[in-house]
Amino acid sequence: MTDISNVARLSEPLKFAYWVPNVSGGLVVSTIEQRTGWDFDYNKKLARIAENSGFEYALTQTRYAASYGADKQHEATSFSLALLAATERLKVISAVHPGMWHPGVLAKYIITADHISNGRAAVNIVSGWLKDEFTNFGLEWLEHDERYVRTEEFIKVLRGLWTEQEFSQSGKYYNINNFTLNPAPVDVPGRAHPEIFFGGNSTAAQATAGRVADWYFSNGKDLEGFKENIAGVVAASGEANRGADGALPSLPSALSSPRFGLNGFVIARDSEREARDTLREIVAKAHKPAVEGFRAAVQEAGASTKDGKGMWADSSFEDLVQYNDGFKTQLIGTPEQIAERIVAYKKIGVNLFLTGYLHFQEEVAAFGQDILPIVRELEADLARKHGTELDLSGTPAASAGTTSKLVDA
């Protein structure tokens, strides 16, 4: 039985997101059939299915060079803007690299996307791990921990330009002088500015998240592994004096303590045996040269950290077949088993699941129809057992009729 963490928010329903397949090759580096497209028409339909299946967020991948089977890529921010224009409720998170963007330019771009979408734009700041993308563009490739120094400055500039008039910041990497962006982002109740997601497993990443991020993303982890990550982020949050609920002193209502998002690859089948057989087939059909190439590339991430705790530092070959370590989260089995696993993670403090699938359109729809209702029942039971109620007001619900029509279209 999983104990309840003091950072768990039992009255708040879990949120669900999916990886936007805006790169070719699907989400596993395998020759197994993946009924997943990377083109815009496929993704437009997927986004509409997702927002009618109870998903609140989608995250576009940032990739500029062919790698680990992703031979073709669509740029993340422009793709996100198109998806925002094609949907009504879905929040779309654009992944971006500091060092490839100036934070002031990105701040202005996201404000425009925010107005086009009526307040649904968000960003995921990725410090960088694929060295060749930087060096082949002629950009500086920083040492691992130094990349997080730059990232922290980058996030502070974004937040400052979104929330202050005549904002100034003097830093090692960015100097802003009395700059005001007009218009400001859309005024959304309960949101101080477009949400800032940030990910990484290393000690430096956890510290950065604790000090400046709205959301902390992690690659897939088992329960004990993610408990450690949460503890690291919470410790840094306390050191930054984010207040009783984690609010930053300079922004009293802007930031609650960083919320926690976790990657998970979903394999839901009628029986656990069938789900496990699918996992074995994925791994058996792994594209070995691509996986080994990916393993070599990520040496600039986890293996380059001083304490060996970075991204992919402890990933096996099987883990790397799903390049966000999504198998480690073990969302594999029947809908009931997956729902129970999801709620076990809620108990330790997870607020959002970032999910991947073999066959995105039909499996995102099935998640909303078969798994999400069980999750909500388990969440409600958990809340009541601990003296509170699950507040579903403002939480999207799956619309089975609309979703089935979209999938069949």
- CA distance readout (Å), 351 to 196, 319, 348, 359, 388: 15, 23, 9, 24, 17
Note the pLDDT tens digit of each residue in 103-144: 999 999 999 999 999 999 999 999 987 888 899 999 999 998
SS (H, E, C) the chain: CCCCCCCCCCCCCCEEEEEECCECCCCECECCCCCCCCCHHHHHHHHHHHHCCCCCEEEECCCCCCECCECCECCHHHHHHHHHHHCCCCEEEEEECECCECHHHHHHHHHHHHHHCCCCEEEEECCCCCHHHHHHCCCCCCCHHHHHHHHHHHHHHHHHHHHCCCEEEECCCCEEEEECCCCCCCCECCECCCCEEEECCCHHHHHHHHHHCCEEEECCCCHHHHHHHHHHHHHHHHHCCCCCCCCCCCCCCCCCCCEEEEEEEEEECCCHHHHHHHHHHHHHCECHHHHHHHHHHHHHCHHHCCCCCCCCCCCCHHHHHECCCHHHHCEEECHHHHHHHHHHHHHHCCCEEEEECCCHHHHHHHHHHHHHHHHHHHHHHHHHHCCCCCCCCCCCCCCHHHHHHHHHC
d(CA 335, CA 160): 43
Which of 48-62, 191-205, 392-406 comes out lowest in average pLDDT?
392-406
Instruction: Enumerate domains of the chain plus CATH numbers.
Output: 15-408 (3.20.20.30)
Among 74, 129, 57, 125, CA closest to 95: 125
Neighbouring C-beta atoms of residue 370, cutoff 10 Å: 17
User: In this structure, are residues 201 and 218 in contact, taking their beta carbons and an 8 Å threshold?
Assistant: yes
> What pLDDT sits at residue 246?
46
| Residue 196 pLDDT > 90 | yes
- Is 126:196 a contact under the CB 8 Å cutoff? no
Residue 80 Cα to chain centre, angstroms: 14
pLDDT-based confidence at residue 264 (cuts at 50, 70, 90): very high
**CA distances to 265, 268, 285, 360 from 272, in Å:** 15, 8, 20, 20
Among the listed ranges 20-29, 107-116, 339-348, 393-402, which one has the minimum average pLDDT value?
A: 393-402
**pLDDT interval class at 353 (50, 70, 90):** very high
| Token representation of residue 268 | 């839901």
CA distances from 269 to 69, 135, 325, 355 (A): 26, 43, 20, 16
pLDDT at 299: 65
Q: State percent of the chain over pLDDT 90.
A: 77
What would you report as the CA-atom Rg of the chain, rounded to the nearest whole angstrom?
20
**Whole-prediction pTM:** 0.93
50 close to 66: Cβ distance less than 8 angstroms: no
pLDDT surpasses 90 at 254: no
Angle at 285 between CA 46 and CA 59, to 5 degrees: 25
Of the segments 30-34, 199-203, 305-309, 320-324, which one has the largest average pLDDT value?
30-34
Of the listed ranges 215-219, 227-231, 240-244, the least confidently predicted one is 240-244
pLDDT tens-digit readout, 289-318: 888 877 776 665 555 456 666 565 678 888
Output 167 or 132, whichever has higher pLDDT: 167
Provide the pLDDT for residue 64: 87
Least confident segment among 74-88, 158-172, 385-399: 385-399
| HSE value, Cβ hemisphere, 13 Å, CA-based, for 226 | 35
Mean pLDDT of 152-167: 98
Tokens 């699938």 correspond to 357
pLDDT at residue 403, rounded to an integer: 74
Output 240 or 29, whichever has higher pLDDT: 29
Average per-residue pLDDT in the chain? 91
Instruction: Report phi then psi at 333, rounded to 5.
Output: 145, -150
* pLDDT per position as a tens digit, 360-403: 999 999 999 999 999 999 999 999 999 999 999 989 877 766 77
Question: What pLDDT is attached to residue 244?
Answer: 43
- pLDDT value at position 129? 78
